[in-house]
Structure 1
Amino acid sequence: MPRWRRVAVRGPSMSPALSDGDVVVVRFGAPVEAGDVVLVRWASRPGQLSVKRAVRPAVEGWWVEGDNPFGSTDSRTLGPAMVDAVVKARMWPKPGSLRRKR
């Protein structure tokens, strides 16, 4: 698996930080800190990758939530997630780094 990959964001769950259609660069193997935007998967949905915000470490992975609580399916519904990669920057349409949310 490559250490870096482009990922397209789908859906409104990370609004306003990210929008549907944004393209981000993720890094596999990067250390995760609370507040990071991350690429995750859940045991109950193994084929689905999601972009969420890491809130806190949990026994079985990370507790993650979307920035838009009204448009996100996240740990509040699915429990802890496994983090595959950390989002390092947005490539398109507004290139730049993402702020860590505290």
Structure 2
Amino acid sequence: MVPTLNPGDQLVVQYGAVVRPGDVVVLRHPFRQDLLIVKRAVERREGGWWVRGDNPLVENDSREFGAVPEEFVVARALVRLRRPPEAGQRSAGALLSWLASALRPVRSLPAGASVARLSRRLRAR
């Protein structure tokens, strides 16, 4: 889910929440139900949700395994908590910078936006 989420980020989720297109969701992998994955719900299709990762180079999503049944969607992500700085970077300035950006809402896609367009826009920043 890079660039929206980075390794080590934590999510605050809402279980049983209504999922809308553009939401970041936690779901069970269709081929390995013991594995939880985080993807963006793109649209409802026959058979469930079509999900995509925000990184267009990684295809471990509905392009690989098709629509995900509704019952596999576990929760909707609300907030991302960035991991704290490493032990060697824990100066007062680094901690203040981390505090200012550590807690961010996980945004839904704007109406009419595509995952591929969003990824290009975020990479350009």
Query: For residue 96 of structure 1, what is the amino acid of its counterpart?
Result: R
Q: Compute the RMSD of aligned alpha carbons.
A: 1.3
Give the equivalent residue in structure 1 for 2:103. 95
TM-score by length of 2: 0.66
The yes-or-no answer on 1:65 pairing with 2:52 is yes
The structure whose Rg is larger is: 2
Cα distance in 1 between the residues matched to 2:56 and 2:28:
18
Which stretches in structure 1 are left out of the alignment for 5+ residues? 1-13
Report deviation, 1:62. 0.6
Bigger fraction of residues in strand: 1
What is the deviation of 1:39?
A: 0.3
Percent identity among equivalent residues?
43
Q: Per residue, is there more helix in 1 or in 2?
A: 2
1:77 to 39, 58, 64: 64
What CA distance in whole angstroms lies between the structure 2 residues aligned with 1:72 and 1:20? 17
* 3-state SS of paired residue (2:35): strand
